Amino acid sequence: MIEEQEFRKHADVALDRLNRALIDAGDDYGFETDFNSGALTIEIEQPHTRFVVSPNTPVRQIWVSAQSKSFKLDWDIVQGAFVYSSTGETLKQLIASKLSDQLGEEINL
Protein backbone atom coordinates (compact mmCIF):
# COMPACT_ATOMS: atom_id res chain seq x y z
CA MET A 1 0.00 0.00 0.00
CA ILE A 2 1.32 3.44 -0.88
CA GLU A 3 1.97 6.00 1.83
CA GLU A 4 -0.86 8.36 2.73
CA GLN A 5 0.94 11.50 1.58
CA GLU A 6 1.77 9.93 -1.80
CA PHE A 7 -1.83 8.72 -2.19
CA ARG A 8 -3.19 12.19 -1.44
CA LYS A 9 -0.86 13.76 -3.99
CA HIS A 10 -1.85 11.28 -6.72
CA ALA A 11 -5.55 11.54 -5.85
CA ASP A 12 -5.52 15.35 -5.90
CA VAL A 13 -3.82 15.42 -9.30
CA ALA A 14 -6.12 12.74 -10.75
CA LEU A 15 -9.31 14.44 -9.55
CA ASP A 16 -8.13 17.87 -10.69
CA ARG A 17 -7.33 16.55 -14.19
CA LEU A 18 -10.63 14.68 -14.36
CA ASN A 19 -12.52 17.79 -13.25
CA ARG A 20 -10.86 19.93 -15.94
CA ALA A 21 -11.66 17.34 -18.63
CA LEU A 22 -15.27 17.13 -17.44
CA ILE A 23 -15.70 20.92 -17.40
CA ASP A 24 -14.52 21.05 -21.01
CA ALA A 25 -16.91 18.25 -22.06
CA GLY A 26 -19.88 19.26 -19.90
CA ASP A 27 -21.24 21.96 -22.18
CA ASP A 28 -21.08 19.65 -25.20
CA TYR A 29 -22.81 16.72 -23.51
CA GLY A 30 -25.21 18.35 -21.03
CA PHE A 31 -23.75 17.67 -17.60
CA GLU A 32 -22.25 19.77 -14.82
CA THR A 33 -19.46 19.12 -12.37
CA ASP A 34 -18.79 20.33 -8.86
CA PHE A 35 -15.40 19.79 -7.25
CA ASN A 36 -15.74 20.58 -3.56
CA SER A 37 -13.93 19.36 -0.43
CA GLY A 38 -11.96 16.78 -2.39
CA ALA A 39 -15.02 15.10 -3.93
CA LEU A 40 -16.14 15.46 -7.53
CA THR A 41 -19.83 15.32 -8.38
CA ILE A 42 -21.15 14.96 -11.92
CA GLU A 43 -24.79 15.95 -12.43
CA ILE A 44 -26.54 14.78 -15.59
CA GLU A 45 -29.79 16.55 -16.41
CA GLN A 46 -31.46 14.02 -18.73
CA PRO A 47 -31.93 11.43 -17.45
CA HIS A 48 -31.31 12.89 -13.99
CA THR A 49 -28.32 11.08 -12.55
CA ARG A 50 -25.45 11.84 -10.22
CA PHE A 51 -21.97 10.32 -10.19
CA VAL A 52 -19.67 10.88 -7.20
CA VAL A 53 -15.90 10.45 -7.35
CA SER A 54 -14.01 10.69 -4.08
CA PRO A 55 -10.78 9.57 -2.48
CA ASN A 56 -10.93 7.05 0.34
CA THR A 57 -7.65 7.68 2.10
CA PRO A 58 -7.72 4.87 4.72
CA VAL A 59 -7.79 2.21 1.97
CA ARG A 60 -5.82 4.33 -0.57
CA GLN A 61 -8.48 4.08 -3.28
CA ILE A 62 -10.61 6.40 -5.35
CA TRP A 63 -14.24 5.38 -5.15
CA VAL A 64 -16.74 6.07 -7.90
CA SER A 65 -20.46 5.81 -7.34
CA ALA A 66 -22.22 5.64 -10.70
CA GLN A 67 -25.32 3.94 -12.06
CA SER A 68 -26.18 2.38 -8.69
CA LYS A 69 -22.77 0.71 -8.54
CA SER A 70 -19.54 1.33 -6.69
CA PHE A 71 -16.16 1.16 -8.41
CA LYS A 72 -12.97 1.09 -6.36
CA LEU A 73 -9.79 2.14 -8.12
CA ASP A 74 -6.24 1.50 -6.92
CA TRP A 75 -3.08 3.40 -7.80
CA ASP A 76 -1.14 1.57 -10.53
CA ILE A 77 2.48 2.65 -10.49
CA VAL A 78 3.14 1.22 -13.98
CA GLN A 79 0.31 3.21 -15.61
CA GLY A 80 0.77 6.19 -13.31
CA ALA A 81 -3.00 6.28 -12.81
CA PHE A 82 -5.83 5.01 -10.68
CA VAL A 83 -7.13 1.82 -12.28
CA TYR A 84 -10.29 -0.27 -11.87
CA SER A 85 -8.80 -3.74 -11.65
CA SER A 86 -11.87 -5.60 -13.00
CA THR A 87 -11.62 -3.90 -16.40
CA GLY A 88 -8.18 -2.31 -16.46
CA GLU A 89 -9.75 1.10 -17.10
CA THR A 90 -8.13 4.22 -15.72
CA LEU A 91 -10.26 6.68 -13.75
CA LYS A 92 -10.74 8.90 -16.80
CA GLN A 93 -11.62 5.93 -19.03
CA LEU A 94 -14.10 4.56 -16.47
CA ILE A 95 -15.88 7.90 -16.11
CA ALA A 96 -16.00 8.38 -19.90
CA SER A 97 -17.43 4.87 -20.29
CA LYS A 98 -20.12 5.35 -17.62
CA LEU A 99 -21.07 8.77 -19.01
CA SER A 100 -21.28 7.26 -22.49
CA ASP A 101 -23.56 4.50 -21.19
CA GLN A 102 -25.73 7.00 -19.35
CA LEU A 103 -26.02 9.50 -22.19
CA GLY A 104 -26.22 7.00 -25.04
CA GLU A 105 -23.37 8.60 -27.02
CA GLU A 106 -19.61 8.34 -27.09
CA ILE A 107 -18.02 10.71 -24.56
CA ASN A 108 -14.35 11.58 -25.01
CA LEU A 109 -12.50 13.13 -22.11
**How confident is the model at residue 19, as a pLDDT?**
95
Is residue 57 a contact partner of residue 7, using CB atoms and an 8 Å limit? yes
Instruction: List, in sequence order, the alpha helices (H) in 2-74.
Output: 4-29
Give the sign of the dihedral formed by CA 1, CA 20, CA 53, CA 93.
negative
Residue 37, domain member (yes or no):
yes
**How confident is the model at residue 81, as a pLDDT?**
97
**How confident is the model at residue 70, as a pLDDT?**
96
Residue 71, domain member (yes or no):
yes
d(CA 34, CA 40) in angstroms, rounded, equals 6
Residue 107, domain member (yes or no):
no
Exposure string for 67-76, b = 16+ CB within 10 A, e = fewer: eeeebebebe
| pTM score of the predicted model | 0.93
Q: How many domains does the chain have?
A: 1
Residue 86, domain member (yes or no):
yes
Average pLDDT per block of 10 residues along the chain, 109 residues long: 94 95 89 92 86 96 93 96 97 96 90
Residue 108, domain member (yes or no):
no
Residue 32, domain member (yes or no):
yes
**How confident is the model at residue 82, as a pLDDT?**
98
3-state helix vs strand vs coil in the chain, percent to 5: 40, 35, 25
Residue 109, domain member (yes or no):
no
CATH number at residue 92: 3.30.920.10
Domain coverage including residue 95: 4-102
Q: Compute the C-alpha angle 99/23/4, nearest 5°.
A: 85
Q: 85 exposed, middle or buried (CB, 10 Å; 0-12, 13-18, 19+)?
A: exposed
